[in-house]
């Protein structure tokens, strides 16, 4: 009986005691790496895209939804594109991929 108790005591001493500070530090480092390499560049890219959308003006040639056209009118959330002489379509500003 004493042998069993001694074995149990040895196993209990060998088991980790819950090094939660090391785990917390590991989590902070992982989240910092994710932020530096994924979140921050994406925020920067989205800010540049929003700046491009805000700078849209009548007469700009843009690529929107796979169609090239010239902006004829800029509304709050949409733009009107002339894709051919006399053919005007309305597309969302978010569909604009590029301004030439």
**Residue range 61-96, pLDDT digits in tens:** 999 989 999 999 999 999 999 999 999 999 999 999
How many structural domains does the chain have?
2
> Tokens in use for 21?
């500070």
In the predicted model, is pLDDT for residue 28 greater than 90? yes
| 10 and 26 share one domain | yes
In the predicted model, is pLDDT for residue 8 greater than 60? no
Determine contact, residues 89/79, Cβ cutoff 8 Å. Answer: no
Query: What pLDDT score does 100 carry?
Result: 87
Query: What pLDDT score does 20 carry?
Result: 84
3-state secondary structure of 75: coil
CATH number at residue 96: 2.30.30.60
| 34 and 79 share one domain | no
Provide the residue range defining the domain that includes 29: 1-55
| 78 and 48 share one domain | no
Q: In this predicted structure, which of 21-25, 56-60, 68-72 has the lowest mean pLDDT?
A: 21-25
Reported pTM = 0.67
| 85 and 42 share one domain | no
Among candidates 9, 6, 93, which has minimal Cα distance to 51? 93
| 91 and 44 share one domain | no
| 43 and 83 share one domain | no
Which DSSP letter does residue 47 get?
A: H
């Amino acid at each position: 009986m004493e042998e069993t108790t001694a074995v149990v005591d040895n196993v209990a001493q060998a088991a980790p005691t819950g090094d939660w500070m090391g785990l917390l530090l590991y989590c902070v480092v992982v989240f910092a790496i994710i932020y530096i390499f994924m979140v921050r560049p994406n925020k920067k890219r989205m800010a540049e895209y929003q700046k491009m959308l805000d700078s849209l003006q009548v007469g700009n040639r843009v690529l929107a939804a796979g169609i090239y056209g010239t902006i004829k009118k800029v509304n709050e959330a949409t733009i009107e594109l002339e894709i051919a002489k006399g053919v005007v379509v309305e597309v969302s500003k978010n569909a604009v991929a590029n301004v030439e």
